[in-house]
Amino acid sequence: MTRKHLPGIFAMAAIVVASNILVQFLFGEWLTWGAFTYPLAFLVTDLMNRIYGAGPARRVIFAGFVVGVLCSLIGTQIQGEFGPLVTFRIALASGTAFLIAQMLDVSIFNALRNGTWWRAPLVSSIIGASVDTLLFFTIAFSSVLIFLEPANDVSWANEARPMLGFGPIAPLWVSLAVADLGVKLSLALIALVPFRAIVSRWQQRQEPQH
């Protein structure tokens, strides 16, 4: 890891820290503010991959993972209205989802990196975000995995409700997951704008000066 990779590490760390803080605050009925910052991690990963390659991108992901684990450890020691701000299941879900989804993003990006400029970041972010959402909400809240932390009451997340308030009946956590994924997919599209701008600027700086 060299100094030129530090901006990526700092950006990833800032996103992870901000998301861990903002996830405590609701935005409407189905989302938290953290849903709008966390997807930017995929942008950072894809930029690092495009500019420096898969190796540095993976090292930035690992740095973000370490920061996330530290945030989770701190959260387990802070008592909220209903107990620790971060339970064991949420910490496990967060770390597992982040690491697997981000590493998958790198692999998919690499497979598509020589195609049209937008294909690699868009496809890798969409698939990575989908896997991230599925893993996080299932591990954190599904009643099927109650054995992971029997003392943690997740009955509230499994309350049967119309999906997003108007769809078929499903556990509440499914609505939370669908809303979260909707934001991630939307931001995957929007992130193409800064991705293109930053990569173009970097390429211009690499051109030999006459």
Angstrom CA distances, 143 to 57, 76, 148, 166, 169, stand at: 35, 21, 10, 23, 16
Question: Measuring CA to CA, which residue among 56, 34, 14 is closest to residue 136?
Answer: 34
Residue 209 has pLDDT above 70, yes or no: no
- Give the pLDDT confidence score for residue 137 in this predicted structure: 96
Burial environment of residue 14 by CB neighbours within 10 A (0 to 12, 13 to 18, 19 or more): middle
Q: pLDDT digits over 95-125, tens only? A: 999 999 999 999 999 999 999 999 999 999 9
Dump pLDDT digits (tens) for 18-43.
999 898 888 999 999 999 999 999 99
207 pLDDT tier (thresholds 50, 70, 90): confident
pLDDT digits (tens, 9 = 90+) for 48-63: 999 999 999 999 999 9
Residue-by-residue DSSP string for 164-176: GGTSSEEEHHHHH
Query: What pLDDT sits at residue 205?
Result: 87
Mean pLDDT of the chain: 93
- DSSP letters for 67-131: HHHHHHHHHHTSEETTEESS-HHHHHHHHHHHHHHHHHHHHHHHHHTTS-TTHHHHHHHHHHHHH
Domains and CATH numbers, the chain: 3-199 (1.10.1760)
Q: Tens digit of pLDDT for each residue in 135-190?
A: 999 999 999 999 999 999 999 999 999 999 999 999 999 999 999 999 999 999 99
The mean per-residue pLDDT over the stretch 7-15 comes to 95
What is the model's pLDDT at position 24? 83
Classify strands 160-162 and 83-84 as parallel, antiparallel or unpaired: unpaired
Environment class of residue 156 by beta-carbon count within 10 Å: exposed (0-12), middle (13-18) or buried (19+)? Answer: exposed
The pLDDT of 59-83, averaged and rounded, is: 86
Amino acid of residue 173: W
Distance CA 126, CA 43 (A): 11
Q: What pLDDT was estimated at residue 143?
A: 95
Say how far apart CA 191 and CA 180 lie, in whole Å. Answer: 16
